[in-house]
Structures are given as C-alpha cells and as structure tokens.
A and B are shown apart, each in its own frame.
Chain A
C-alpha cells in the first residue's frame, strides 16, 4: 500500500499511456465495423467468410501478434503503434460479427415502411436502422472496450509503456503491491470505461432506459 502511495505519479503516467493505446482501437473497431458489417450482410458467402475470419483472428494470441507486426508494417518492437494496430484487429474480430447480427436483427418490415414513408437510403440508415441496431451495437462495444483495456498490458513484456509495466517491474523487483496495483488499476479502468459507455448509450438512446441491455 505504501508503494502505491509513493508512486501515484508513476501509476498516473502509465494509466495515461495505457488509455492512449486502448482508446484508438476501441474507436476504430466501432467505426470500421459498421460499413464492414453492412458489406458482409449484403452477400451470404461474404457473411460466412467474415464470421470465420473473425473467429480465427480472435484465436491468435496477442503477444505473438505484437511480435509479428513490426516485421509486417516496419515499426519497432517497442512501438505503441503495434499494440494499437493489433488491438484494432482484435476489436474488429469481435465487433464485425456483432454488428452484422445487430443489423440483421432490425426488422425488414420496419425498414420497408421507412422507405415507403419516403426515407432516402442514407437517412433511413442513420435515423431508423442505426438506432434500432444501437443496443446490440453498444453491447458489442462494451465487450471490445473491456477486453482491449485488459490486453494493452501484454505490451509491457515487450517494453511498451502501459499499466502492464507495473507487472514487469513488480516481478523483477519482487514488489507484490506494484503488481496488485497494476491489476486493480487495469480492472478499474475497464469498469469505468464500461460504465461511461453505458451512460453514453443511455444519453444517445433514451428509449433503452427502461429495458437495460446487458453485455453477453
């Protein structure tokens, strides 16, 4: 406990670095999954191959991917860019199938009546389809956010600064409190982000306030 109090600035610094690596992948996964899911849903065979690719992608362990990427994209092993790109890929692997299911769950009759009411394709997507798929999309983003924030720590063993450094440093110097602080900080960050996403969902989708959508 004294270690934690004496090193609050260290923890804060790593937390900042951690967030800088976690937030871009979450955002990228969400934004890119929307067009990719729509594209996948347009053809049956495309949907099957996207789902299969995603599940295989997610089976690739994170540390080997962090190691492989520098050779593929020409960055250094210790570069945060590797972490951000690898975690974006994992995020997409989780999010694209979820988004595809979310859009498929929107009733075709509802979309048909929106068209009949005169909605242009883009307006129909933004004002009808997206809000109806919203709760399922939110559930997916919450899973992506929590697992991304947890996975950022793995970069610590390669020397990429994040809360994972507390584990690496703690085990080298034999300070259990440092490791415990890293675990607690990571979990808190994940839960806090999750709570913010729930609030964001309530603000943007007021109709879901009564029927809470839980993460699966």
Chain B
C-alpha cells in the first residue's frame, strides 16, 4: 500500500482491458443489477400483497412490525454463507438471502402506505359506495404510493449492498473485483470495485428517490 492506492485504482478503472469480456466491468455491472432486480422482484411478489392486506385490514400489524425489526438484526453475511453451505455454490443461496433481506422494507412500505391514507378520506370513499377493493386500489394505494416506492427504495439499497456478497460464495456481480482483489492482495482493484458498487448504489437510490417524489398524486401535493 505505497504511494496512492486511489490513483492506482483510477488507473485500474481506466485500463481498457477491464472493460471487456466476461470479467469486464459492464458485464459484472449488469449481473449485479440483474441480481438486485430479481431479489427485489421476488420479495415484492411475496411482501407487497401481504403488506397491503395488513395495512387495509389492520390485522397482524404486530407480527409485521416485529418481523421487520427482527430482520434488521439478521447478519447478511451469515445468511449468504449458511445458504451457500446448505444449497451449494451458485446463485440460489445469495438470491434466498436477498429475498429475506428485501421483505421487511417492502412489507413496511406497503402497510404504512395503506395506513397513511386519512381515515376520513377512506370513510368518505366507503360512504360513496366504493367496495373495499376499490378503496384499496383507487384511494389508499395512490395516496400511499410514495411510501410504497420508499419501501422499494429501502429494499433495493439493501439488496445492492448484499449482491456484492454473491461473489463471496462463487457467483458474479461487482463483488468479484473486491474478492479477487482481496485474494491477490490487489488493493487498487478492491478500491475500484468498491467505487463501482458505491456509484451503482447511489444512482439507484437517487433514481428511486426521484420516483418517490414523482408518485405523489397531483391532488395530494402539499401546497
């Protein structure tokens, strides 16, 4: 670690050889994004309907809150390595962990989104003769959309970070650069890989933040 590891890592990033092929930065980035999308999507299919039900009916809220709290204590690395041992090296183990880690944010986002609708507004909708399904899809979900997207944002940020650990148990993604660098004492490569993951995470976070702002219904925008 002599000189400036940061300049060396910039040199590593500037090397055209690192931008092509199966181990190139573009392909690893796509893999990373793919893992993230898959993890969040599977988790959303499981968690969002449950969250909407909990928020609309007010039932099982205690369980949902407790599950979200307990999940925060679960060490990601532990899940990834345990599943890797149980189901073998590959993508299944990391994917299982991504789903488990993404569920709490999505669940919380969905039930707080539905809950955030003003009870007076919901009652007014009911008095107008809307069915429960119509209240959920036409009143509660649109009003709570920013919170729902916020849940997606939290889950995505979590999974992008975790997706790096996929490389630890034999899969691809940007974590490859970090773990290869760690194995060969190549600190500039580790820094370069780290910078790539950080930039990717920030871009995703900012895009979803923007989406969160844009999904506020026109009628509910604060004056």
Contacts and interface: CB of A to CB of B under 8 A. Distances in A.
Interface stretch (B43-51, B65-73, B137-145): B65-73
Given A167-B81, A183-B78, A67 B72 contact: no
Interface in B99-121: none
B164 A71 contact: no
Contacts of A176: 82, 85-86
A7 interface: no
B81 A179 contact: yes
A215 B69 contact: yes
Q: For chain A, what secondary structure do more than half of its interface residues adopt (helix, strand, loop), or is it mixed?
A: helix
Contacts of A120: none
- Which of A63, A77, A143 has its CB near the most chain B CB atoms (within 10 A)? A63
Interface string B194-223: 110110011011100100000000000000
B130 to A, nearest CB: 30
In the A-B complex, the 9 residue pairs with the closest CB atoms: A64-B194, A61-B161, A190-B73, A59-B205, A183-B78, A171-B81, A153-B75, A167-B81, A179-B82
A68 B205 contact: no
Interface string A140-164: 0001001101110110111000011
Contact of B178 (A67, A147, A166, A186): A67
Q: For chain B, what secondary structure do more than half of its interface residues adopt (helix, strand, loop), or is it mixed?
A: helix
Interface of B: 1, 4-6, 65, 69-70, 72-82, 84-86, 157, 160-161, 164-165, 168-169, 175, 178-179, 182, 187, 190-191, 193-195, 197-198, 201-202, 204-206, 209
Contacts of A67: 178, 190-191, 193-194
Nearest to B200: A61
Contact of A70 (B1, B76, B78): B1
B178 A191 contact: no
A29 interface: no
Given A150-B74, A157-B182, A64 B86 contact: no
Interface in A52-74: 55-56, 58-65, 67-68, 70-71
14 contacts: A61-B161, A65-B194, A67-B191, A68-B195, A71-B191, A143-B72, A150-B74, A157-B179, A158-B182, A167-B81, A179-B81, A179-B82, A183-B75, A187-B74
A166 B168 CA distance: 15
Interface string A173-200: 0101001101100110011001000000
Contacts of B187: 71, 77
B180 to A, nearest CB: 13
A152 to B, nearest CB: 8
B149 to A, nearest CB: 14
A147 B78 contact: no
